[in-house]
Amino acid sequence: MNVDLFCLPLKGGVDSIAPGIVQYLVPAAPAEPLVSHIRLVDKYSVNPPTTYLSKIFQDRLRERKDYIEYRQGNLQNPAGVIDKVYDDPAPDGRPYTYVIDIAGNLAYNLPPEVHIQHTFRVAVALAKAAAKRPHIQSYIRMVGPFSEHTDFKKKWKESEEKGWRPWGARGTWWLEAARAVASIPNLPLVVIRCATVYGPEIIRLEACITILCGLIYKSIDKEMKFLWNPRMRKNTIHIYDLAGAIWACAQWIADKDRATANALAGDILPPSGDKDVPNVPDAVPKSAGGILVPCFNITDDGDTTQETMNNAVGRLFGIKVGFHGTITNVISGMRMRDVAEDVNESHMQEWGKIIQMANPPVPRTPLSPYVDLHILDEHGIAMDNEKLKRIVGYKMTYPSFCEDTIRQFINWARSEGIWPETEFSAHIQ
């Protein structure tokens, strides 16, 4: 099925999911694209690049330019930008009919004002503009894995309101953005909530950091041990399955009106309860209650936990893995900061040696095992994907995080010239 698609990226770079989505929808020649044209919008320049872009993504933009247009534009200053993005026709003269909005700020330790500006306001402006254009048949809004899933025994369904409780200001404004977008009448909307993403192009999230730590502990010949309970869920989704599920959801909604879609797949997006919401224009107040919208969890079938993730890395690198458990003397945020500093000092020192002694050295690699403080928190990612499979019918190509998918990531990094080739990973092919 060839349709026009308008795709909005995260804030640039290979740690975003936009390059993976583009490569899924427009594969390398001679494979047939799934769409007739993509317009990709972000604030960065790609020629020359002003942020890191993978070689394969740059090649795809260049070699398939008949199918992909990259447009530089700052969506945080939407005056005139959004209208032109929507209204300038595709090369064949037709209007764009699908929208994938994955824009927003991923940083955890930023004040609410930044998340309101970068995530909430951009999402609302894009959705309002789309709702005014009747030719748009499908609109996808993403929510990241930014909920408080502290109960490692439970997988949360879309219908369970407690499973939407936001984690920090980032989680609050990604949720409130989805609620505000869902409240716009006549928008052919699906909200997706994804697990932690991994695979080619994804270089700074938890799964990638764990892989790099595996190389470090192989290098120093020590056991790789992590905090908290090994059964704590860290559910995952491969970037190409995320792209495939997004595409399946976009096609699912395209022939339905909102009322029909709500009847088939509607669930309630509850209010965050944040005290700043009443003061933000376009935010849906708590008094309005939950907002009904078709929504789907996008996570793989492997039900990844800390234990299964670490065991897969351990088997591939040939290292022992284990857990410290709950550290009883970690009693304050200050102490956790000390733990993070100690971990990063140790990891980064060894990483510096690895990238310098690699053959060839890769001192400018964007790969880094640096662990942000919030990643060390006792926080799970726990989602149930039954609804996605039952209603949309999507089947995972990469059903679990395993040695094969880790090997795929390492070989992708090798092809990019950013993987440190040493004796410690030479056996991985």
Burial class (CB in 10 A: 0-12, 13-18, 19+), 72: middle
Average pLDDT over residues 83-92: 88
Amino acid at 399: P
State the average pLDDT for the chain.
91
pLDDT at residue 277 above 50?
yes
Q: List all residues 6 or more positions away from 377 whose beta carbon is below 8 Å from its beta carbon.
A: 336
pLDDT at 12: 34
- Measured CA to CA, the distance from residue 73 to residue 92 in angstroms comes to 22
Q: Are residues 250 and 139 in the same domain?
A: yes
Tell me, yes or no, whether 394 lies in a domain: no
Tell me, yes or no, whether 424 lies in a domain: no
pLDDT per position as a tens digit, 411-429: 999 999 999 999 989 899 8
CATH number at residue 264: 3.40.50.720
CA atoms within 13 A on the CB side of 268: 13
Q: Are 98 and 21 in contact (CB under 8 A)?
A: no
pLDDT at 15: 46
Tell me, yes or no, whether 135 lies in a domain: yes
- Looking at 26-30, 105-109, 342-346, 380-384, which range is the least confident one? 105-109
- Taking alpha carbons only, the member of 205, 202, 203, 223 closest to residue 214 is 223
pLDDT per position as a tens digit, 106-163: 888 899 999 999 999 999 999 999 999 999 999 999 999 999 988 778 999 999 999 9
Q: Are residues 26 and 120 in the same domain?
A: yes
pLDDT at 333: 53
- Measured CA to CA, the distance from residue 195 to residue 155 in angstroms comes to 12
Domain boundary among 245, 279, 298: 298
Q: In three state form, how does the secondary structure of 380-413 look?
A: EECECCHHHHHHHCCCCCCCCCCHHHHHHHHHHH
Q: Are residues 171 and 312 in the same domain?
A: no
Contacts 24+ apart (CB under 8 A), 347-351: 347/213, 347/216, 347/371, 350/216, 350/219, 350/220, 351/212, 351/216
pLDDT at 278: 97
Structure tokens at 307: 């234990």
Q: Are residues 348 and 337 in the same domain?
A: yes
Tell me, yes or no, whether 386 lies in a domain: no
Average pLDDT over residues 246-265: 97
pLDDT at residue 13 above 60?
no
pLDDT at residue 325 above 70?
no
Q: Are residues 223 and 241 in the same domain?
A: no
Average pLDDT over residues 377-386: 92
Domain boundary among 280, 298, 316: 298
Q: Are residues 137 and 189 in the same domain?
A: yes
Q: Are residues 325 and 283 in the same domain?
A: no
Tell me, yes or no, whether 389 lies in a domain: no
Burial annotation 324-354 (CB, 10 A radius, 16+ → b, else e): eeeeeebeeeeebeebbeebbeebeebbeeb
Q: Are residues 310 and 374 in the same domain?
A: yes
Q: Are residues 261 and 228 in the same domain?
A: no
- Taking alpha carbons only, the member of 237, 229, 371, 253 closest to residue 307 is 229
Q: List all residues 6 or more positions away from 378 whose beta carbon is below 8 Å from its beta carbon.
A: 150, 227, 228, 232, 326
Tell me, yes or no, whether 255 lies in a domain: yes
Q: Are residues 212 and 105 in the same domain?
A: no
- Look at the chain and report how many structural domains it folds into: 2
pLDDT at residue 44 above 80?
no
Domain boundary among 278, 298, 318: 298
pLDDT per position as a tens digit, 197-232: 999 999 989 999 999 999 999 999 999 998 888 999
Q: Which residues pair with 290 in a beta bridge?
A: none
- Measured CA to CA, the distance from residue 151 to residue 231 in angstroms comes to 10
Q: Are residues 182 and 284 in the same domain?
A: yes
Tell me, yes or no, whether 280 lies in a domain: yes
* φ, ψ (nearest 5 deg) of residue 368: -150, 135
pLDDT at residue 330 above 80?
no
Residue numbers of the domain that contains 208: 203-234+304-381+401-416
Average pLDDT over residues 352-381: 93
Q: Are residues 293 and 187 in the same domain?
A: yes
Which of residues 377 and 355 earns the better pLDDT score?
A: 355
- Measured CA to CA, the distance from residue 275 to residue 2 in angstroms comes to 45
pLDDT at residue 251 above 80?
yes
pLDDT at 334: 53
Tell me, yes or no, whether 151 lies in a domain: yes
